[in-house]
């Protein structure tokens, strides 16, 4: 069988292409300016990285996908920072995990379940998750790819930022480079005054400002 490997997972190319072409319906955020920056909304088979300083709506924007997801979707929200999701902790698919090893164990449990549809995975504040070695990061990315391409899903990872050495004006995601490189779309969020957020799609060079 002709196939292709993504993250160590063998895919039937014909099945993947057919699924992509027939199911590429973006999930709206409910904010027209943001949907425009995202070219319609958050798309299946796509991995997004949202990064910015605290208070730039990274988590809120991510959770809008859950609120507007199709009825047959199965959202999974993992918070790596204690207390970041106080209103939804305790629900079955909304949980706090602060170690990559434990995230991997949970993702393996998801893969053991029958295939789903419109899977949505949000890993909030991934930069707060500890890990023993870089191989755990590679394993996590492989597991995420398997779920996304099996279940017609999408991934949103959020992260804080740090200053680039030698350049105090440039903020970079506080994540390993292999994670950054594996993401399809990079979204940078910054404050524009007290009540506005600038959302910049780094992948296409498009931005918008929304009121909060």
In this prediction, residue 20 carries a pLDDT of 54
Q: How confident is the model over 136-152, as a mean pLDDT?
A: 94
Over 43-95, what HEC string results? CCCCEEEEEECCCCCHHHHHHHHHHCCCCCCEEEEEECCCCCCCCCCCCCCEE
**At residue 85, does pLDDT exceed 70?**
no
Which of 12-26, 52-66, 112-126, 171-185 is the least confident region? 12-26
Total domains in the fold of the chain: 1
Compute CA 165 distance to the chain's CA centroid, rounded to the nearest angstrom: 26
Task: Examine residue 31 and state whether it is found in any structural domain, yes or no.
Answer: yes
In this prediction, residue 165 carries a pLDDT of 56
Q: How confident is the model over 75-92, as a mean pLDDT?
A: 65
Task: Examine residue 8 and state whether it is found in any structural domain, yes or no.
Answer: no
**At residue 21, does pLDDT exceed 60?**
no
Task: Examine residue 104 and state whether it is found in any structural domain, yes or no.
Answer: yes
Looking up residue 42, the CATH number of its domain turns out to be 3.40.50.300
Which of 63-67, 128-132, 133-137 is the least confident region? 63-67
Task: Examine residue 168 and state whether it is found in any structural domain, yes or no.
Answer: yes
**At residue 174, does pLDDT exceed 80?**
yes
Cβ neighbours for 58, distance < 8 A, ≥ 6 positions apart: 50, 51, 52, 124, 158, 159, 189
Q: How confident is the model over 183-209, as a mean pLDDT?
A: 93
Percent of the chain clearing pLDDT 70 (strictly above): 80
Instruction: Round to whole Å and give the CA distance between 137 and 143.
Output: 10
Nearest one of 67, 69, 17 to 43, comparing CA atoms: 69
pLDDT category at 14 given cuts 50, 70, 90 is low
Task: Examine residue 1 and state whether it is found in any structural domain, yes or no.
Answer: no
Task: Examine residue 183 and state whether it is found in any structural domain, yes or no.
Answer: yes
Task: Examine residue 120 and state whether it is found in any structural domain, yes or no.
Answer: yes
Q: How confident is the model over 71-82, as pLDDT tens digits?
A: 778 789 999 987
Domain of residue 51, residue span: 26-211
Q: Average pLDDT, whole number, for the chain? A: 84
Contact predicate 87/96, CB 8 Å = no
Q: How confident is the model over 92-127, as pLDDT tens digits?
A: 578 899 999 999 999 999 899 888 876 899 999 999
């Amino acid at each position: 069988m002709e196939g292709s490997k993504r993250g160590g997972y063998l895919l039937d190319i014909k099945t993947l292409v057919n699924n992509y072409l027939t199911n590429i319906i973006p999930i709206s955020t409910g904010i027209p300016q943001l949907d425009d920056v995202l070219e319609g909304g958050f798309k299946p088979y796509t991995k997004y990285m949202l990064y910015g300083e605290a208070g730039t709506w990274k988590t809120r924007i991510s959770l809008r996908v859950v609120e507007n997801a199709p009825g047959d979707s199965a959202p999974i929200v993992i918070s790596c920072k204690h207390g970041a999701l106080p209103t939804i902790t305790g629900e079955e698919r909304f949980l706090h995990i602060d170690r990559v090893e434990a995230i991997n164990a949970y993702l393996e449990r998801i893969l053991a379940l029958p295939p789903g549809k419109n899977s949505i995975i949000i890993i909030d504040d991934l930069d707060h998750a500890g890990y023993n070695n870089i191989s755990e990061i590679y394993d996590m990315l492989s597991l995420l790819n398997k779920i996304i391409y099996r279940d017609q899903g999408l991934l949103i990872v959020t992260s804080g930022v740090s200053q680039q050495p030698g350049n105090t004006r440039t903020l970079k995601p506080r994540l390993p480079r292999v994670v950054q490189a594996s993401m399809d779309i990079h979204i940078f969020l910054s404050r524009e005054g007290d009540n506005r957020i600038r959302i910049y799609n780094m992948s296409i060079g498009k931005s918008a400002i929304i009121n909060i």
